[in-house]
Structure 1
Amino acid sequence: MKSDQDLFAKGLATYQKVVAANYMAHREVHEMLRQVLLDEASDGFVFADLACGTAPGLAAALAGSNLARYVGIDISQPSLDVAKEALAALACPVELRCEDFVVAIDSWKGPLDVVWIGQSLHHLVAQDKAAFMRKIHSLLPRGGLFLIWEPTCFEGEDREGWMERFHQMRPDWAAISDEEFDAFESHSRASDYAETAATWIGMARDAGFRTADELMTVPNQLARVYRFRH
């Protein structure tokens, strides 16, 4: 039997291949995030990167912005160890916390201006997503931003339909093996709960956000980026 650490290391290595090959459109998403922060974030903003993982692309997305403090939250210490090196170039204090992002937000103390979560909020079921959005809203100041990048069903599509669309991506993911793709897909089937765009936006409005809009659909149409303003 492989240890949990060995299994995690293998999964992380696969994910890093996916990021490097840009199969999930990390480059496009982080470029959009960069533009939003340059255009809309307040001077001296505090940025929370929830479920930050290895923080791929975040250093570049944040470079040149008016960032005053970066806080990265992830449940994986090995991922945070990689993120520490990636974020070393930021010209502001960087804090990395090994913690579940829901727990971190429940106990958050201090200022918070922009919250970003990518490819992780969908792990919660609908009622927990809604509760989490309400908590984020309660922590942000007027004008604060909550930005999410999450799997999105087409209107009228169910979870299984989204899963089938993901399965159809296999020929396009040539940089990873069948075994690696199967592991990725198994994780999605066990943990992913995509919502429609209308549901994501509706949850944000119900949580109290003044504006809620869709910023982009990634090229493979499996996920979208949304902006919610306090």
Structure 2
Amino acid sequence: MAGSSNDTMLVRAGDDAFGSQDMFNKELQTYRKIVGANLMFHREVYGVLRDLLVEHAPASFRFLDIACGDASASAAMLKTTAIGNYVGIDLSEASLRMAAQELDGLPCPVELRCNDFAQAMAEWSEPVDVIWIGMSLHHLPATGKAQLMRDARRSLGGKGLFIIWEPALFEGEERLSWLARFSLLRDEWSAVSDEEFASMERHMLLADFPETVGTWLGMGTDAGFSQAEEIFMMPNKMGRVFRFSN
């Protein structure tokens, strides 16, 4: 990217699977409302992530951002760390174009890859110190979640950090009860319109498959991580941040 303090490369793998530009713009507008009003507690979550990196990541660490989207939250957080290399994976080429702009200020090489993240992780063979995935792993079925955790463990080479931020059921809670809990947040989510909130509910009904805390942690230990712990719970109790390491 001309005039950048870093080197940014966008790698494509297959066709851009995102829908129309109008749909993308509409969803992006909703997402930015959510982040701007801190409805999902992005500020707290990325603060926790930064603290982990400062305390545990090696100097000039290589950071893999799975399902990075526009990478705005990651970019803002990583600018204050000792990052040495950034790789972002996302299926949306439109999101990656925005990510390239957001990441322009990072003091390290940046590579963005347009690919399905599960497929990309299954084929990953490069050294990495930290793997981060936020609010995306839950879209996979249980077998897919478990496989990605195994792929993350293998990719880290028995060291490093795997950190996930995902929806979590209470122990014994059913998925539909979790969805009903989200619907009860409507008054707190006044920053989005009724149409936007209803669209989110439809998306969650079709695509969100959270696990209990015990299941998330168990998937990590089953994947070979010796340490698995919950490190943050969203104040509305809809999701948690988990850390896996050896």
**C-alpha contact 2:72 2:103 (8 A) present in aligned 1:** no
CA separation in 1, counterparts of 2:83 and 2:150?
24
Report percent identity of matched pairs.
Answer: 50
CA-CA distance at 1:66 after TM superposition: 2.4
Of residues 136, 142, 165 in structure 1, which corresponds to 2:181? 165
Aligned to 2:140: 124
2:28 counterpart of 1:12: yes
Aligned to 1:44: 60
Aligned to 2:115: 99
- SS of equivalent to 1:88: helix
**C-alpha contact 2:135 2:167 (8 A) present in aligned 1:** yes
CA-CA distance at 1:143 after TM superposition: 2.5
CA-CA distance at 1:89 after TM superposition: 1.2
Aligned to 2:208: 192
CA-CA distance at 1:57 after TM superposition: 1.8
TM-score, normalised to structure 1, is 0.96
What's the CA shift string for 1:103-153, capped at 9, x where partnerless?
Answer: 111222321111000000000011111111111111113321100000000
Of residues 206, 209, 218 in structure 1, which corresponds to 2:222? 206
Aligned pairs for 1:62-81 (under 5 A) are 62-81=78-97
CA separation in 1, counterparts of 2:80 and 2:191?
32
- SS of equivalent to 1:117: strand
Name structure 1 gaps, 5 residues minimum. Answer: none
Question: Which letter maps to 1:82?
Answer: M
CA separation in 2, counterparts of 1:20 and 1:78?
20
What's the CA shift string for 1:184-213, capped at 9, x where partnerless?
Answer: 111111000000100000000000001000
**C-alpha contact 2:62 2:86 (8 A) present in aligned 1:** yes
Question: Which letter maps to 1:126?
Answer: A
CA separation in 2, counterparts of 1:187 and 1:8?
14
Aligned to 2:193: 177
2:171 counterpart of 1:133: no
Of residues 146, 150, 154 in structure 1, which corresponds to 2:162? 146
* Superposition RMSD in Å: 1.2
2:243 counterpart of 1:227: yes
2:231 counterpart of 1:215: yes
**C-alpha contact 1:37 1:62 (8 A) present in aligned 2:** no
**C-alpha contact 2:129 2:160 (8 A) present in aligned 1:** yes
Please identify, of 187-196 and 76-85, the stretch whose mean Cα deviation from structure 2 is larger.
76-85
CA separation in 1, counterparts of 2:220 and 2:82?
26
TM-score, normalised to structure 2, is 0.90
Aligned to 1:84: 100
CA separation in 1, counterparts of 2:107 and 2:86?
10
